[in-house]
Structure 1
Amino acid sequence: MEQQLTADAAGAWVRRWESQQRLYATARAERFDVIADVVAHAARADAEPLIADLGCGPGSLAAHVAARLPHARVHGVDHDPLLLALGRLHHGERVHFIDAQIGADDWTAPLPGRLHAVVSTTALHYLPQAVLEGLYEQVHDVLHPGGVLVNADHLFQQDTPIRRLSEAVAGGREARRGDRPHEDWASWWSAAAADPRLAALFAERRRRSLDGGSDNGLTAQRHMELMRKAGFTAVGSVWQYGHSCVLAAVRG
């Protein structure tokens, strides 16, 4: 008999996900707070702001923003059926999850209207530059005037010596904290694949030909250039710790 995935089981997998993500997002908790600060300021005049988290995975950032702005409508957008299922069971009271492939022509169709903010963390680096360029244009067009795009990721620096210094800063922080997670990306997925309750979701992942993605290698400077090219009138970094950056772009 097929085993059912419960909310408790989903919560356990999401907590393991959040732990391993700390390997890849330096100062992850602070990064989330910064993103929420930016969104709260950008949407301060709106009674019910509409926010989308792109490449939301199981919804960790979306839920964080929803907790900070309980009057907002927060939508998590992803195309991974496994992560969406975990998110719906664990964060479904705070976040509305949308199954759509960001960067595709029609990914904005399920959204209920123009957005006040679009956020993303540790997700857009896997998109090829041509797709990312189009995505930034789509985000610009779906935002209200004054709306903000916030992209937080481990972004390369343009100059190699500075890149190495930023990586050293990030590594130094993790060494001082001494709480490096024991599970990484690959081992999380391997463990999840062995859970019979997730078997049908893994089968759907295979049907969609999903993989772990890769890094497009774009610098923070190149991201900002693409944002300006997409039509954003104000672009810049609002926070950085080592190679962990939060970029913001405002639609004029």
Structure 2
Amino acid sequence: MNHYLADVAEAWQESWNRQQEAYLPDREHRFATMLDAVEAIGVEGPPRVLDLAGGTGTIALRTLARFPRAEVTVVDQDPVLLALAGAALDGRAQIVPADLGDPSWTTALPHRRYDAVLTATALHWLAPTRLTTLYAEIRDVLRPGGLFANADHMPDEGLPALTKRLITTADTRRETRYATGAALSWRDWWSRVAADPSLSPLYAERQRIYPAEHGGAEWTPPAAWHLGALRAAGFAETGLLWRGATDATVAAVR
């Protein structure tokens, strides 16, 4: 492991968390509800959990805090975030670089079946057709009775006017935090990564992977769309696990 990253892993995690919390003030609550659901499905022994598009290992770290003996895998394509995840997890999880846009991503997994697949604020970069197929691929890596949970931007289609006001209010609060220095913006956080001598080579690699910032615009359909896609993928149970303003967590059981 890079000794520099080992020494500063905790600080980078704190920096990432504060940057993300500017967008998602209730971030920890959504993670807690996902882990409550993992506990509720009744795993015999330590749970085997896949942190999908796991970035810096946010969900993996919280999974291990709740279930210290859990077998955790983190999958992501971003070389910077995976390096930070590896430093923070320090051998307690398996780190797997893989592109979720490629159906072969499952071949890189160290286990054939998982008790739970968890993801947060990541899959909105995928096109609708690819996400629909990905849901079926996720079902296939879950054991019978296994849980999938996806927390993301999922506005309530029955509240279009209120949703616009909620987004405006959240944007104003976030800009105020940036202006006062309470949190770094997404752009500022990445500029610090680019300026760090140990991370700059990985940042350059990231720029080659994402030349146009993930290659496209976000796609954020309502929760109803996700639930329909999960049912079409063959999940036995689907439903809303959590909602906070314009975000929600959908859950599905194989």
Fold shared by both chains (TM-score > 0.5):
yes
Change (3 A) 1:170 1:39: farther
State the partner residue of 1:163: 163
State the partner residue of 1:235: 238
Equivalent position to 1:48, from 46, 49, 61: 46
Partner AA of 1:116 in structure 2: D
Change (3 A) 1:29 1:180: farther
What is the distance in 2 between the residues matched to 1:131 and 1:5?
Answer: 37
What is the distance in 2 between the residues matched to 1:212 and 1:140?
Answer: 28
What is the distance in 1 between the residues matched to 2:201 and 2:26?
Answer: 34
Q: 1:20, CA displacement in angstroms?
A: 0.5
| Structure 1 residues without counterparts, runs of 5 or longer | none
Q: How many residues align?
A: 246
Would the aligned equivalents of 1:67 and 1:94 in 2 still touch at CA under 8 Å? no
Would the aligned equivalents of 2:151 and 2:250 in 1 still touch at CA under 8 Å? yes
Q: 1:103, CA displacement in angstroms?
A: 3.6
Partner AA of 2:127 in structure 1: P
Question: Which one has the bigger helix percentage?
Answer: 2
- Which region of structure 1 is more displaced relative to structure 2, 152-161 or 117-126? 152-161
Question: Where do residues 195-210 of structure 1 align in structure 2 (5 Å cutoff)?
Answer: 195-209=196-210
1:98 aligns with 2:96: yes
Q: 1:203, CA displacement in angstroms?
A: 2.3
1:139 aligns with 2:142: no
Secondary structure of the corresponding residue to residue 196 of structure 1: coil
Question: What percent identity do the matched residue pairs reach?
Answer: 36
1:244 aligns with 2:247: yes
Q: 1:204, CA displacement in angstroms?
A: 1.8
1:127 aligns with 2:130: no
Secondary structure of the corresponding residue to residue 5 of structure 1: helix
Would the aligned equivalents of 1:22 and 1:181 in 2 still touch at CA under 8 Å? no
Change (3 A) 1:27 1:174: farther
Would the aligned equivalents of 1:23 and 1:180 in 2 still touch at CA under 8 Å? no
Q: RMSD value over aligned CA atoms?
A: 2.5
What is the distance in 2 between the residues matched to 1:169 and 1:69?
Answer: 36
Change (3 A) 1:169 1:146: farther
Q: 1:244, CA displacement in angstroms?
A: 2.3
Partner AA of 1:102 in structure 2: L
Secondary structure of the corresponding residue to residue 152 of structure 2: strand
Would the aligned equivalents of 1:50 and 1:74 in 2 still touch at CA under 8 Å? yes
Would the aligned equivalents of 1:20 and 1:181 in 2 still touch at CA under 8 Å? no
Q: With the length of structure 1 as denominator, give the TM-score of the two structures.
A: 0.88
- Which region of structure 1 is more displaced relative to structure 2, 130-139 or 179-188? 179-188
Would the aligned equivalents of 1:40 and 1:69 in 2 still touch at CA under 8 Å? no
Question: Where do residues 53-72 of structure 1 align in structure 2 (5 Å cutoff)?
Answer: 53-72=51-70
Q: With the length of structure 2 as denominator, give the TM-score of the two structures.
A: 0.87
Q: 1:187, CA displacement in angstroms?
A: 0.8
Change (3 A) 1:40 1:170: farther
Partner AA of 1:235 in structure 2: T
For residues 161-207 of structure 1, give each alpha carbon's deviation from its aligned partner in whole angstroms, at most 9, with x where no partner exists: 342365478679989x9x99421111100111111111211122133
Change (3 A) 1:151 1:169: farther
State the partner residue of 1:36: 35
